[in-house]
A and B are shown apart, each in its own frame.
Chain A
């Protein structure tokens, strides 16, 4: 399973490295979202700092939707799916591979967004370990839930409108727990560990669901 996962993750990341869709479309979109949030609130440094956790996570959620659509468009055609099946790859491995590649992309986007919050929203982090843990677990949870639901959403034409409706309500716990952990990382509250635990539970639940259910889904 792990060998198949590495194979699929490597393929996805190679395609991404060549096409640079994430770099030239998803990353600029997430930065643009952060700038637009600033326009909505106005140039008030205090208000921006208070709102930074929410803005960061909403920008990440929107960017993750775009990244997922891009990732699943690789598997989009029926012929590609059939080829993958004919190779005899373990469906759980395919799921983990796609999640792994998406996590790598989301980590890059998170890094840029963290830089954006420091530069644009004047946020100063006190607990970097908490921030790194929450971002890593959130990336795994977001990628697992998005790949699972994205595979359900069918072809490319339908997925672009259906995926946000299916995924955004499901990943609401990531938004809540991530924002709270972000606030704790800034130093405004001290219960960050509890929210990191919520993110860990979310990541585990959706990873397990994906490993179990991706196989039956790809039998289609």
Chain B
């Protein structure tokens, strides 16, 4: 079932991402103010949404479910770890595409803006989470430690989200859906932007499912190796 999901999500996300790139590069018009630079808007916000909300949200939810005794399962731990790991990739891409946009717009590759800084901090927190996962420990001990770390890291997300509201920053405010469900972007540009969110969400889901499968296979490989070793050891004691 999961393998089928992974097989389906891969091609779907590839088609959607290619479609987004084609619409963003060749169909949508340049912006009145930003010119061709606006085309980054079809990648950057969608990447940021996956890095900040999908990744950390999913990790925090799965971690909370792991800590809750009734829903405790290693599946939750693996899902949280997969979400954070894929989130790191999206976070790096968010920072890179943001820098590419910032250089011609703000005149610098990096500025100490509140949202940029808090996003970079989230990246470091995620790397800390991944480092914590590599600390040798019993699987359930590691899972519990990492679940707590993920929940504590999630505290950073509201700070990032509201940073452009709380502080005077260079980073622009909402682009697509603003308070009161008003839109600031229309026509083919608006549809392409919405498609980019769907495309990168599908891509994120595919990567998480694939990462999860790798974890399952690796763990089952360990279990199998242990069983094989035990069987071999037992057979040594059996007189032939």
Are the C-beta atoms of A165 and B131 separated by less than 8 Å? Answer: yes
Kindly list chain A residues whose C-beta atoms are within 8 Å of the C-beta of B141. 220
Are the C-beta atoms of B145 and A220 separated by less than 8 Å? Answer: yes
Of B125, B137, B151, the contact of A213 (CB 8 Å cutoff): B151
Of B124, B127, B135, the contact of A154 (CB 8 Å cutoff): B135
Are the C-beta atoms of A169 and B128 separated by less than 8 Å? Answer: yes
Known: A169-B121, A219-B144. Contact between A162 and B152, CB under 8 A? Answer: no
Known: A172-B121, A216-B144, A220-B141. Contact between A166 and B149, CB under 8 A? Answer: yes
B40 located at the interface, meaning its Cβ lies under 8 Å from any Cβ of chain A in the complex: no
A211 located at the interface, meaning its Cβ lies under 8 Å from any Cβ of chain B in the complex: no
A166-177 CB mask vs B (1 if < 8 Å, else 0) is: 100110110000
Can you name the residue of chain A whose Cβ is closest to the Cβ of B137? A154
Known: A148-B152, A172-B121. Contact between A162 and B135, CB under 8 A? Answer: yes
Kindly list chain B residues whose C-beta atoms are within 8 Å of the C-beta of A205. 155
Are the C-beta atoms of B131 and A162 separated by less than 8 Å? Answer: yes
Are the C-beta atoms of A209 and B124 separated by less than 8 Å? Answer: no
Question: Shortest distance in angstroms between A177's beta carbon and chain B's nearest beta carbon?
Answer: 12
Question: Shortest distance in angstroms between A188's beta carbon and chain B's nearest beta carbon?
Answer: 19
Known: A154-B145, A219-B144, A220-B144. Contact between A166 and B137, CB under 8 A? Answer: no
A153 located at the interface, meaning its Cβ lies under 8 Å from any Cβ of chain B in the complex: yes
A158 to B159, CA, bound (A): 30
Nearest first, the 3 A-B pairs at minimum CB distance are: A169-B124, A166-B128, A220-B141
Q: Total A-B residue pairs with C-beta atoms closer than 8 Å?
A: 52
A2 located at the interface, meaning its Cβ lies under 8 Å from any Cβ of chain B in the complex: no
Kindly list chain A residues whose C-beta atoms are within 8 Å of the C-beta of B124. 165, 169
What are 5 A-B contacts defined by CB distance under 8 Å? Answer: A153-B135, A162-B131, A165-B127, A173-B159, A217-B144
Interface residues of B in 126-184 (CB under 8 A from A): 127-128, 131-132, 135-137, 140-141, 144-145, 148-149, 151-152, 155, 159
Are the C-beta atoms of A152 and B131 separated by less than 8 Å? Answer: no
Kindly list chain A residues whose C-beta atoms are within 8 Å of the C-beta of B135. 153-154, 158, 162
A134 to B144, CA, bound (A): 33
Can you name the residue of chain B whose Cβ is closest to the Cβ of A216? B67
Can you name the residue of chain B whose Cβ is closest to the Cβ of A158? B135
Are the C-beta atoms of B152 and A209 separated by less than 8 Å? Answer: yes
B198-217 CB mask vs A (1 if < 8 Å, else 0) is: 00000000000000000000
A213 to B146, CA, bound (A): 12
